[in-house]
Structure 1
Amino acid sequence: MVQFIQAQNIGLAYLEERFGLQPAKDESFFTEWLENLPEITDLEKQYLDRAKFQFLRLVNHPPIAEETVKLVILSPLLDLAGFYDEPFFIRSKQSIEIAAEDKGEIVRGRIDVLVIQQRLWLLAIESKRSSWSLLEGIPQALAYMIANPDQNKPIFGLVTNGSDFIFIKLTKDDVLKYDLSDQFTLFKRENELYKVLGILKNFSQILS
């Protein structure tokens, strides 16, 4: 009998055991979040300063639903990074399934935002008091990325709860390998949305 498992209920250990997922050990594996990042204009900084201010004001009235995260933070970032323009287009609430071979298990879930060319996957989760909610979203995002039909090229992901951000890279050569960026947060004096936008802009250039 096939057992169905919800993506939000799995952990990294499950993905490593069932799908052979491995953390990359080569420091050069995921440099796209570090190197050759585009400049952020003064006008874009003003836009991001306002987005940060609006989001932090909402923090005083928890909980912050994932729809609010997408509206206040994620949508402006995607717009400024060029993901609303050709050759990209947005699909939301996409269903995915991945089968664990010979295990009689199928992982099911629904991704919040999918940026086509199917090589950038974005997951917005409810903003909670603890940043651990972000770490819990990483296995879920990786499950969606593993289910991507085009495994011949690197796939990128972003997990955010609005205040914190982690980028992911996944490749499939002989084995599935992944790595994570540093974690960026709005709870610093400097506006780390500048760095997040720079990384998204870099992804946009790489994927277009």
Structure 2
Amino acid sequence: MVQVIQAHNVSHADLEARFGLQQTESEDFFTEWFDTLPEITDLEKQDLDKIKLHFLRLVKRPPLSEETVKLVLLSPLLNLAGFYDEPFYMRGEESIEISAEDEGEIIRGRIDVLVIQEQFWLLVIESKRSSFSLLEAVPQALVYMLANPSQDKPTFGLVTNGSDFIFLKLAKENQPKYAMSDQFTLLKRESELYQVLSVLKNLSQSLS
């Protein structure tokens, strides 16, 4: 009988054992999160400051659900980054299944937000409630990225709990490998939400 495993129960060790997924520390592998990023305009900064203000006001009345994180934070960020425009389109709550060869197991889950361009999964976004650790969400996002049918193009991911953000890149050529960005936070006095939008704009501009 085939065993079904929920994506949120998968660990880094599971992904290494089942799919041979390896993390790379090479800076050349994932330059999209730090190299030649586009500038953020003053108007965009005003919008980001308002997003931060809304989030911090809501987080005073916990718990902050995943749906609220998507509504207050992710939706306006993706809009500012251009992911609501052509050639992209978006899907929410997308079901996926992925299985390792000869394992007799299927990993099943639902992607929170999926941004697609011509069947190429550009951005897989996993949002969590505000109290959730991002490191716990990374393996789940990687499961969804591994489910991307494209073999010759990388997939980019973003995990966020509302206050913190980590970008991911996964390539499946030969042996699958991935890398993570630094962790950004909007809780600093100098909010790093500007950098988050800059990375998102870089992805939308370079991949459109």
Q: Give the TM-score range, shorter chain.
A: over 0.9
2-structure distance, mates of 1:36, 1:62: 37
1-structure distance, mates of 2:12, 2:84: 31
The answer to whether the aligner puts 1:136 opposite 2:144 as a matched pair is no
1-structure distance, mates of 2:40, 2:186: 17
Instruction: Give every structure 1 segment of 4 or more consecutive aligned residues whose post-TM-superposition deviation is greater than 6 Å.
Output: none
Give the corresponding residue for 1:121: 124
SS class of match (1:30):
coil
Give the share of equivalent positions with the same residue, in percent. 68
Give the corresponding residue for 2:20: 20
Give the corresponding residue for 2:163: 163
Matched positions, count = 205
Deviation of the 1:119 alpha carbon = 1.9
Give the corresponding residue for 2:3: 3
What are the superposed Cα offsets for residues 108-128 of structure 1, whole Å, 9 maximum, x if unpaired?
000010001212111111111
What are the superposed Cα offsets for residues 108-154 of structure 1, whole Å, 9 maximum, x if unpaired?
000010001212111111111xx6x2111000000000000112111
Q: TM-score, normalised on structure 1? A: 0.97
1-structure distance, mates of 2:27, 2:83: 28
Deviation of the 1:42 alpha carbon = 0.2
Unaligned runs of 5+ in 2: none
Q: Which amino acid aligns with 1:120?
A: L
Deviation of the 1:103 alpha carbon = 1.1
Deviation of the 1:169 alpha carbon = 0.3
What are the superposed Cα offsets for residues 20-45 of structure 1, whole Å, 9 maximum, x if unpaired?
00011322111100011000000000
- Counting only pairs closer than 5 Å after superposition, residues 32-71 of structure 1 correspond to structure 2 as 32-71=32-71
SS class of match (1:122):
strand
Give the corresponding residue for 2:184: 184
Q: Which amino acid aligns with 1:113?
A: V
Give the corresponding residue for 1:95: 95
2-structure distance, mates of 1:45, 1:169: 26
2-structure distance, mates of 1:56, 1:46: 15
Give the corresponding residue for 1:75: 75
2-structure distance, mates of 1:25, 1:32: 14
Unaligned runs of 5+ in 1: none
